[in-house]
Amino acid sequence: MLDGRRVMITGGSSGIGRGLVRAFTAHGALVFAVARRPEALAETLAPTEPGRARSIAADITSDAGRRAVATAVQHAGAVLDVAIHAAGALGPIGDAGRLVDYPADDWNRVLDVNLSAVHFLHQRLVPFLDNGTAPVVIGVSSTVGRAGRAGWGMYSISKRALEGWLEVLTEEWDGRVYSVNPGGTRTPMRATAMPDEDPATLPTPSDIAPLFLRLAHPLAPEPSGSKLDARDWIGRDPWEGIPTA
């Protein structure tokens, strides 16, 4: 159903990003997997079908890293159909994440990864998205981005700001734009945030992939600007209601 769709996924070396890279390649897309660590990216791509994914080792918080992503897409034909911003930084949480004591360095780092890098990477990629077919941008939000929560500091604030960025983009850009809240997911970041939680009680990144796959389809019926929850699509057919021809 996604054969030929060109999809860029940040945060592809771990967690939700890794799960999405594997899910999209399994459904026929050509994926640009972006992350800082080349060895971890190689692990992500190891089980994928040869030729379905391209690894881009780049730090998207730097202009050089964003330029490297854009250059890779340019050399691959200068066409992009879907951009999924799954890279994220957690920062201090709990008592250490309370605003009154929140460290300046962590504040700037989390804001940079979760918001600024998304914006400035989009500026680099929008010409390629405009060359694509029914182009889509998906931002990975959070429960604490939909409603602020004490002790989650800049993570919560940056995800709330990401929601605002997606709202503005919806108004300004002709492509489709979505905010997806994955909910609690079995990832290394979640384990850091909630060390006492049993990970076996959480869905895996592959479990929450159906909604992302659905929204990437050129005929997805969800209107641009929708704020959606990935857990609503666990176990469902992502192509439900989408024409097959």
Amino acid found at 151: G
Distances in Å between the Cα of 183 and the Cα atoms of 79, 195, 207, 214, 236 are 31, 16, 11, 17, 16
Q: Which residues are 229's β-sheet partners?
A: 181
Question: What is the C-alpha separation between 56 and 72, in angstroms, rounded?
Answer: 7
- Catalytic residue (choose from 32, 155, 178, 233): 155
Smallest CA-to-CA distance from 157 within 141, 145, 139, 140 is with: 145
Tokens (6 digits) for 194: 């909630």
Give the max Cα distance, the chain: 56
Neighbours of 229 (CB within 10 A): 17
Question: What is the C-alpha separation between 193 and 178, in angstroms, rounded?
Answer: 25
Active site residue 155: yes
Question: What is the C-alpha separation between 199 and 38, in angstroms, rounded?
Answer: 26
Phi, psi of 99 (to 5 degrees): -60, -35
User: Which residues does the annotation mark as catalytic?
Assistant: 155
